[in-house]
Amino acid sequence: MQTQPVLRVHDLTTCFDGDETTVLAVDRLSFDLMPGETLGLVGESGCGKSVTSLSIMRLLRAPGRVAGGRIEFDGQDLLALSEKAMRAIRGNQISMIFQEPMTSLNPVFTVGRQISESLMLHQGLSRREAMAQAESLLELVQISDPARRVREYPYQLSGGMRQRAMIAMALACQPKVLIADEPTTALDVTIQAQILHLLREIQQRLGTSIVLITHDLGVVAQMCQRVIVMYAGRKVEEGSVDDILDRAQHPYTQALIRSLPDFADGQDHTARLAELPGIVPVMTPESRGCAFAARCPEAQPRCSEQAPPAADAGSRHRVWCWARAAEPAPAALTA
């Protein structure tokens, strides 16, 4: 049984260069993805989740750039590869379901042609063979009448069918790693449940490792074994899905969970949902302290001055928070 990570991200730093300042979108992010695992990247909009995925795929456009770190896949650093070598991996061994299926498909090509492109490029299939395989992939993702659908254009498909087509495209070459960026965005709850069930079913069949990017903790509960909570480009908590949802330690994670509606019997369904005041800060190389300090109800004086170290909150459960750190605050900061 393979015990080595299939994907290892170490100290990934991604920034966007402006005229007057540089913004840190991802700040020294590290994680391992194990074979067959689903790892969730969670956080509100602007926390760096999608930028992380684009960094891994090396699809960032200027002014974005990867400023540091390593992304290891099959023993090689993806950041050190030539573009030609990266193209042999992208869409083949590492694939991605992009956000917004309504706009991610090319409207001027048929669904079958878009799926077959990667098969011809990476598998060396003829156009006829690739179209036949595209039809089989549409059947795999449970699209009815696949022989007809491969000849249709994206506008002829419903939102749920377009998302299924995006999944078929991502799985065409049976990748080892699948990055799913908000795969249920803009879908109603019934279609969302079907898409999540489909992803689990295909993962079990193919043994694919999944990085699931979402802000929906309900999706995390259904899909993930481990979860990383991100805030302002930084990792603030990491643990099993039970650790994060049932034993959250970081004030930001706790605030996310409190913001969810509770539909359990006996609860006041008319009560106002808890909200988190303030906005996500713009982080730069000069930023100091904990990024969440200005919004945190448990902030200490040193939170604005020093970035917190990792604190163990259980087996493989870690939190980056001074309020949870074992090290006492210096007297000068507590006075």
DSSP 141-161: TT-SSHHHHTTS-GGGS-HHH
CB 127 within 8 A of CB 120: yes
pLDDT at 195: 86
Q: Which two tokens stand for residue 283?
A: 């982080």
Q: Which fold has domain 33-59+81-93+176-262+273-334?
A: Rossmann fold (3.40.50)
pLDDT at 236: 98
pLDDT at 265: 56
DSSP assignments along 2-37, one per residue? --S-SEEEEEEEEEEE-SS-EEEEEEEEEEEE-TT-
Give the mean pLDDT of 17-33.
95
Tens-place pLDDT, residues 142-189: 899 999 999 999 999 998 899 899 999 999 999 999 999 998 877 788
Q: Which two tokens stand for residue 252?
A: 């930001």
Give the mean pLDDT of 109-124.
95
pLDDT at 127: 95
How would residue 267 be classed by pLDDT, with cut points 50, 70 and 90?
A: low
Tens-place pLDDT, residues 291-315: 999 999 999 999 999 999 999 998 8
> Which residues, 6 or more positions from 248, have their beta carbon under 8 angstroms from its beta carbon?
237, 254, 256, 257
How would residue 230 be classed by pLDDT, with cut points 50, 70 and 90?
A: very high
Per-residue burial over 245-256, b if 16 or more Cβ lie within 10 Å, else e, is beebbbbbbbbb
Q: Is the pLDDT of residue 329 over 70?
A: no
How would residue 106 be classed by pLDDT, with cut points 50, 70 and 90?
A: very high
How would residue 332 be classed by pLDDT, with cut points 50, 70 and 90?
A: very low
Phi-psi group of 191: left, alpha or beta (phi > 0 → left; psi -120 to 50 → alpha; rest → beta): alpha
Q: CA-CA distances (angstroms) from residue 29 to 41, 191, 315?
A: 11, 32, 20
Lowest mean pLDDT segment, chosen from 20-29, 260-269, 277-286: 260-269
pLDDT at 273: 79
Tens-place pLDDT, residues 36-75: 999 999 999 889 999 999 999 999 999 999 999 999 998 8
> What's the CA gap between 221 and 186, in Å, rounded?
19
Give the mean pLDDT of 100-127.
91
pLDDT at 331: 44
* Model pTM above 0.75: yes
pLDDT at 293: 96
What does the domain layout of the chain look like in residue ranges? 33-59+81-93+176-262+273-334, 102-172
pLDDT at 174: 92
More confident residue, 132 or 314: 132
Q: Is the pLDDT of residue 100 over 80?
A: no
Q: Is the pLDDT of residue 120 over 80?
A: yes
pLDDT at 334: 39
